[in-house]
Amino acid sequence: MSTKSFVLKVVLVLVLLAMALGGCTTPTAAPTAAPTAVPPTATSVPEPQKLILGTTTSTYDSGLLDYILPDFEKAYHVKVEVIAVGTGQALQLGKDGNADVLLVHARAQEDAFMDEGHGTRREDVMYNDFVIVGPSDDPANIRGMTEAAQALKTLALAQAPFISRGDDSGTHSKEKALWKAAGIEPSGDWYVSAGQGMGAVLTMADEQQAYTLSDRATYLAMRLEGLKLEILVEGDPLLFNPYGVLAVNPAKNPHIQGELANQFIDWLISAPVQEKIGTFGVDEFGVPLFVPNARRKP
């Protein structure tokens, strides 16, 4: 065998051997990318329902609503939108179908509201009282009088500065009834019709050293904020101030939450909430600012 032929055979054997060895090698798999983590699906929390409460400035300014409403919102997963105006304006919200439930204090107007079909339910809730307040030096000398109408008559004769709500609120309605009982139609520079809520009127009277009629709860709450006016006349039965809660007739507006309004009423007049109302103000003043008087439910 020639040298050339021998070399070719060796080369051929080496090539075949290399091919055989290559076929036995397990191919290396391409690295697999780590799976992308899929975030867990968050549990969908429904939006809270909305309840529109038309109420008086006294329930708002006194702090009562801040004291009790969070409990209702949490228990029923509801957001309560409070519109605090005078009782007359609150009742008008109901008549116009712009509120679901009302918390007010003018019984004659409440009864008319129900009689005219604007509401489907009314319940007693609580009461407090009105007081006549004025500057500490009491220039008209009405301090200690037991008859509110006589005190107003004295103020009119002295033409002592008097700030009226003048806003068709429950307080304004009570004031007008007292002037009527006194046989006086107040007018003149001494008598100012503010057209404002209770807190604003008390501030005005304080700044001008004037007299005014206030619900006791708002007056005491304002005293904590530095109000200097003093209670001069109190205790007359004519100064009694009851509050009622009314469900607005759903026929007024398809968006009215009739069922939710009734749930709110049931909650408000329930024994636990009535008891809580009876504690409001005790820590600060030693007495409650409102006295619960609903026909209690368990």
- For 70-85, what is each residue's pLDDT tens digit? 999 999 999 999 999 9
pLDDT of amino acid 295: 81
One-character DSSP codes across 202-233: HHHHHHHT-BEEEEHHHHHHHHTTT---EEEE
pLDDT in tens, 28-59: 444 444 445 545 555 667 899 999 999 998 89
- Residues in the chain, pLDDT under 70: 1-44, 296-298
Domains and CATH numbers, the chain: 49-128+241-292 (3.40.190.10), 129-239 (3.40.190.10)
Instruction: Compute the chain's Rg from CA coordinates.
Output: 38
pLDDT confidence of residue 6: 47
For residue 20, the 8-state DSSP code is H
Name the 3-class secondary structure at 270.
strand
